[in-house]
Amino acid sequence: MKIKFVYLVALLFLASCGHKQYDETVIGEEEYYEDELYLDEAEDMAKERPIYRETETILTDLIHTRLDVNFDWTKSRMNGRATITAKPHFYASDSIFLDAKGMDILKVSMENKALTYSYDSLTLLIHLGKTFTRDEKYTVVIDYVAKPDERVTGGSAAITSDKGLYFINPTGDDKSKMPQIWTQGETESSSVWFPTIDTPNAKTTQEIFMTVANKYATLSNGKLISSKQNVDGTRTDHWKQELPHAPYLFMMGVGEFKVVKDVYTRPDGTKMDVNYYVEAQWESSAKAIFGETPAMISHFSKLLGVEYPWDKYHQIVARDYVSGAMENTGAVVFGDFVYKTERELLDGNDQSTIAHELFHHWFGDLVTCESWSNLPLNESFANYSQYLWDEYRYGKDEADFQAVVETDGYYQSAQMQGYHNLIWFDYYDKEQMFDGHSYNKGGRILHMLRNHLGDDAFFKGIQMYLTTNKFKPAEFHQLRLAFEEVSGQDLNWFFNQWFLGAGHPVLDVNYDTDTMNHKVSVIVGQKQDLKLSPIYRLPVDIAVYDSEGKHVYKMLIDSLNQKHTFAYAGELKSIVFDDQKMLLAKIREEKPAEQYLFEYYNATRYKARKEGLLFGTQGPIVKTAKGQQLILDALNDTFWDIRLTAIEKAVKLKDENVGKANKLIRDLAMNDPNSGVRAAALAYLSNKLESTEMTAVCIDRLEKDQSYLVISSALKSLGKIDVELALKKAKTLESEQSSKMISGVAQLYGAHGKEDALIFFEKALKGTILQGFDQLGVLNSLTFFNVRQEPATIEKTFDLYKYMNETGGYYTKMFMSQNVAYLISMFETKMTELDEEIAAHEKNNNAAYADSARRKKKDYNALKELFLTLPTEE
Ligand SMILES: [Zn+2]
């Protein structure tokens, strides 16, 4: 599963860089558990055994699950018959326990004879009528009604994300949303729509017969075996998956989806269906969105040495989806954030999410974490697939850049929610497992392991893990054993510190150069909190650059304070700690600016070159010819993020270099292949170029650039030079069907819009084009717009705030109170100013002016009262 973390950094990142979007990444239900109750109880608890989330005991082996279902759209219910074939796992038994949440159980039978059962709305205990041994299979049939919307969720507030089965706009009242049904099983919600053993260590083959009105397309796991017309005008689709998988991966989708066909060719020449289920208006964009999928299947199959194991690979886009995306076997669900036109895709695609879900088909679907504590066996690999895909498709720099983003995501998440072991046996709630540890940190750990073992051993180890454990659950020891067997190395030290430890290394790195004897010492101190984290064992590469070139040395850091000395020839040019820039560690390093400068020009990895640029232009060195030249050179770097950083650094240029940079950056604005760089270049130039020239550049981009990000930036820059012209241009862009463009226009109106912009704001916020953060961005722009308006205009916007407070998206609702508080404080400031004005008019005996000011103050006070009816604090 790919979830959405809410951190502010993500917001800032999105705002500043349109390259790739991270709004796909959760909305967590994570909470702090450091409440007072817990702290008070901590002492008592210390006397007890610590929490241990053990793996579910296997009493029964599921063998096959057949479901026959139809849907009652008006009641949001599903009528089902489950035919479950099972056997005792080891010990003989006369009963079977099934998870079945909030259902009506109508009848339970075996071979047409009714069986007795008990049911408490969570667990269905069926008495089989005789004792079965582990060599005896049996089949029970359960007739039931699933009622996801009527479930009583054990006294706590109903959590919308564990309904399992979702009817979206089932009566079709909302004309903006295509009616549809979809499911979300992970973690343990499949048992809301069929009775099963709802744990990740259960596996079963599956077939589903879905009866629907003829107009609907259906999707489920496995192959479509048949599609039969019924006499009553309905149709029954038979989907069958012959390979076993865990119940949380079961999936159904129903709706008037268009099915766009694609194909993957296996190495033996056979073809496999790869279909994209989208709403009609997105049919023409489906291949632009998902079209890399066959190439991904091919790449990952080769890399892993295990051919894609399932029958087909279909992807579907769901409305009101409760997560980012979900790896249901061969039937992957995405939230509607992936709906993007070809033009929108120029500013960032969702291939990371597509790769993530696909990789789960080996890690999660083929080999499954045996318990939620072992979730990193699923999510760390899925996270790392994003690196693997970027590396293959876009090169090492892009992969390394995304790795930095992932690393920051881990630090942020850990800071907000606390540190814990990667394999986490004492969580309070299984949903906590879906955090920056299981995903981001786990991905970085796998990268370090790959670095340590080398590509060959790493991928051979993975291949062994997959083939040894296929169609079975696994725990993290099995991963270690596979790597140990292949590499011949004991890897307990690695797994203990990274999988069974918390936190990360914090390193002080210093250098001591002995120019007399041509020696340089690397002095490393481990500074992490040892109450939380171990003393790490960290094999790293040290690159020493001297008069003869580059030499790479191995250094093993395994104590608190360490010093390694290396010889160099001639002059020491630079020294790069962790040459591969693969360590997950916070590093405080000190070395001369000249060495950083050298590092920019000579290091191989993106992160090292960026370090070189940042610190090679910091302090007095930036004023030297070399420092100035570094910024100019970085503007021509091969990698977009370095060019972007160089644009930011260009403010430090002096004299004739300013003109040189303007020329270079003007060229970036017009021609850079990356839209983020073009947009940043335009922003930089807005107060650098002479206004006629800048106007010409902006008009050129507004008319010729395809990227909405660039057009938005051009609009903003133009607004700083020629407001009237910018507003005129914005008018023509209002109707673009792009979330980014609408939010760009809103930004301009926020800064310069007149009263007539109200119609635009209303259309934008009530329309269906804005997505995720952009909706919040437009609301923020409306607030800035209001700051410049008269009370009568502001009053007209109130209903819009009210509407957004009720129907807005997650982020909009989250930041609504900030917007309201901002307005109220503006009203108060105005009233204070008016008080002063009134006093001044009275002093000067200007009664008429004083009255007018009083009326205005009254208007602001009324506005304050009005807006106070909206939330002002969280
Ligand atoms: Zn995932």
For the stretch 446-502, pLDDT in tens is 999 999 999 999 999 999 999 999 999 999 999 999 999 999 999 999 999 999 999
Distance 356 CA to ligand 1 centre (A): 6
Distance 476 CA to ligand 1 centre (A): 17
Per-residue confidence (pLDDT) for residue 33, from 0 to 100: 38
Distance 740 CA to ligand 1 centre (A): 27
Q: In whole angstroms, give the CA distance from residue 795 to residue 818.
A: 18
Per-residue confidence (pLDDT) for residue 19, from 0 to 100: 33
For residue 660, pLDDT over 90 is answered with yes
* Residue that the structure tokens 């991966």 belong to: 249
The H or E element containing residue 243 is: strand 234-245
Per-residue confidence (pLDDT) for residue 873, from 0 to 100: 73
Q: In whole angstroms, give the CA distance from residue 767 to residue 760.
A: 10
Per-residue confidence (pLDDT) for residue 49, from 0 to 100: 82
Distance 489 CA to ligand 1 centre (A): 29
pLDDT band at 46; cut points 50, 70, 90: low
Distance 493 CA to ligand 1 centre (A): 27
**DSSP 3-state assignment of 55?**
coil
For range 825-835, the mean pLDDT = 96
Q: Which residues contact 59 (CB under 8 A, 6 or more apart)?
A: 88, 89, 91, 93, 96, 97
Q: Which two tokens stand for residue 288?
A: 């632009």
196-211 pLDDT tens trace: 999 999 999 999 999 9
Q: Could you write out the DSSP letters of every residue in 732-784?
A: HHTT-S-HHHHHHHHHHHHHH--TTHHHHHHHHHHSS---HHHHHHHHHHHHH
Half-sphere exposure in the Cβ direction for 266 (13 Å, CA)? 14
For range 498-518, the mean pLDDT = 97
Q: Which two tokens stand for residue 229?
A: 């017309």
DSSP 8-state secondary structure symbol assigned to residue 650: G
376-431 pLDDT tens trace: 999 999 999 999 999 999 999 999 999 999 999 999 999 999 999 999 999 999 99
Distance 634 CA to ligand 1 centre (A): 36
Distance 368 CA to ligand 1 centre (A): 12
For range 291-310, the mean pLDDT = 98
The H or E element containing residue 849 is: helix 847-867
For range 542-558, the mean pLDDT = 98
Per-residue confidence (pLDDT) for residue 810, from 0 to 100: 80
pTM score, whole prediction: 0.91
98-156 pLDDT tens trace: 999 999 999 999 999 999 999 999 999 999 999 999 999 999 999 999 999 998 664 44
Per-residue confidence (pLDDT) for residue 641, from 0 to 100: 98
Distance 303 CA to ligand 1 centre (A): 19
For range 593-622, the mean pLDDT = 97
Q: Which of 183, 195, 204, 182 is nearest to 368 (CA)?
A: 204
Q: In whole angstroms, give the CA distance from residue 301 to residue 312.
A: 14
Task: Give strand pairing partners of 146.
Answer: 78
Distance 636 CA to ligand 1 centre (A): 37
Are 560 and 579 within 8 A, CB to CB? Answer: no
Distance 381 CA to ligand 1 centre (A): 8
Distance 396 CA to ligand 1 centre (A): 23
Distance 234 CA to ligand 1 centre (A): 35
pLDDT band at 41; cut points 50, 70, 90: low
Distance 372 CA to ligand 1 centre (A): 13
Burial of 44-68, coded b for 16+ CB within 10 Å and e otherwise, reads: eeeeeeeeebebbebebbbbbbbbb
Are 712 and 14 within 8 A, CB to CB? Answer: no
Q: In whole angstroms, give the CA distance from residue 356 to residue 315.
A: 13
DSSP 8-state secondary structure symbol assigned to residue 322: S
Per-residue confidence (pLDDT) for residue 808, from 0 to 100: 87
Distance 586 CA to ligand 1 centre (A): 26
Distance 357 CA to ligand 1 centre (A): 6
For range 214-231, the mean pLDDT = 98
Cα 691 from chain centroid? 41
Distance 435 CA to ligand 1 centre (A): 11
Per-residue confidence (pLDDT) for residue 42, from 0 to 100: 56
Are 719 and 690 within 8 A, CB to CB? Answer: no
Are 438 and 472 within 8 A, CB to CB? Answer: no
Distance 265 CA to ligand 1 centre (A): 25
Q: In whole angstroms, give the CA distance from residue 385 to residue 387.
A: 5
CA torsion through residues 108, 111, 115, 119, sign: negative
Q: In whole angstroms, give the CA distance from residue 559 to residue 541.
A: 17
Distances (CA, A) of 715 to 153, 682, 744: 50, 10, 8
Q: Could you write out the DSSP letters of every residue in 525-587?
A: EE-S-TTTSPPP-EEEEEEEEETTEEEEEEEEE-SSEEEEEEE-SS-EEEEEESTT----SEE
For residue 10, pLDDT over 70 is answered with no
For range 619-647, the mean pLDDT = 98
For range 62-77, the mean pLDDT = 98
Output 185 or 153, whichever has higher pLDDT: 185
Q: What is the mean pLDDT of the chain?
A: 93
For residue 4, pLDDT over 90 is answered with no
For range 48-63, the mean pLDDT = 94
Q: In whole angstroms, give the CA distance from residue 608 to residue 218.
A: 50
Distance 383 CA to ligand 1 centre (A): 7
For residue 14, pLDDT over 50 is answered with no
Helix, strand, coil percent values for the chain (each to nearest 5)? 45, 25, 30
Distance 1 CA to ligand 1 centre (A): 3
Distance 768 CA to ligand 1 centre (A): 27
Distance 96 CA to ligand 1 centre (A): 31
Please tell me whether the peptide bond between 187 and the residue prior to it is cis, using omega within 30 degrees of 0.
yes
Percent of the chain residues past pLDDT 70, beyond the cut: 94
The length of the chain in residues reads 874
Per-residue confidence (pLDDT) for residue 36, from 0 to 100: 42
Distance 371 CA to ligand 1 centre (A): 15
Percent of the chain residues past pLDDT 90, beyond the cut: 89
Distance 552 CA to ligand 1 centre (A): 36
